[in-house]
Amino acid sequence: MKTLMLVRHAKSDWGEPGLADHDRPLNARGLRDAPEMGRRLRERGVIPDMIVSSTALRARTTARLIAGGLGLDEASVMLDDRLYGSSPATILRVIGELGGENDRVMLVAHNPGVSEFAGDLTGSHRDLPTCAVVGMDFDIDEWAEIEFEPPVDSRFDAPRS
């Protein structure tokens, strides 16, 4: 059994005109919501073995704050530049390369790709709000099998839920 947690990065700050998109930080709400989502997951006993994040500042900050809320070290976050502006096909490729040793994986990325990918897997298409978490359980042994097996269970949580 494998558990995938897809996370849309927390709310970002648009207050600095001219700042490159990749360098946008989180705003105050994002800085508050990300550790809260980590705490919620920890309270449910849902702690990932691995966190993989986009390299964008807002995504990697979200991942590190969630890790802190989970009681994990910030160093537990791996960065993958392919997740910045990624399509569902790219997200699938990143997950498929994870092998089989980690049973619980969290992936932090961006819209529209992360929402589309979650919808492709669950069959429930919705635009994920910022810092939302979609958790899915798969009856698979290797992450590469995710392409061929629908989840046996899925859950949704967002800061305002």
- Residue 40 CA to residue 152 CA, distance in Å, equals 22
| pLDDT tens track for 18-68 | 999 999 999 999 999 999 999 999 999 999 999 999 999 999 999 999 999
Joined together, the tokens standing for residue 114 give 């992360």
Return the DSSP state at 56: S
Average pLDDT, the chain: 96
Integer Cα distance of 94 and 17 in angstroms: 32
Q: Match 């635009």 to its residue by tokens.
A: 127
Rounded to an integer, what distance in angstroms lies between the CA atom of residue 26 and that of residue 45? 26
Read off the pLDDT of each residue in 5-10 and give the average, rounded to a whole number.
98
Give the tens place of pLDDT for each residue, 99-141: 889 999 999 999 999 999 999 999 988 899 999 999 999 999 9
| Per-residue pLDDT, 156 | 95
10 pLDDT band (50/70/90 cuts)?
A: very high
pLDDT for the residue 130: 98
Question: pTM for the complete prediction?
Answer: 0.96
For residue 22, how many C-alpha atoms fall within 13 Å in the half-sphere facing its CB? 9
58 assigned binding-site residue: yes
pLDDT value for 17:
86
Q: How many CB atoms lie within 10 A of CB 45?
A: 6
The topology under which CATH files domain 2-157 is: Rossmann fold (3.40.50)
Domain ranges of the chain: 2-157
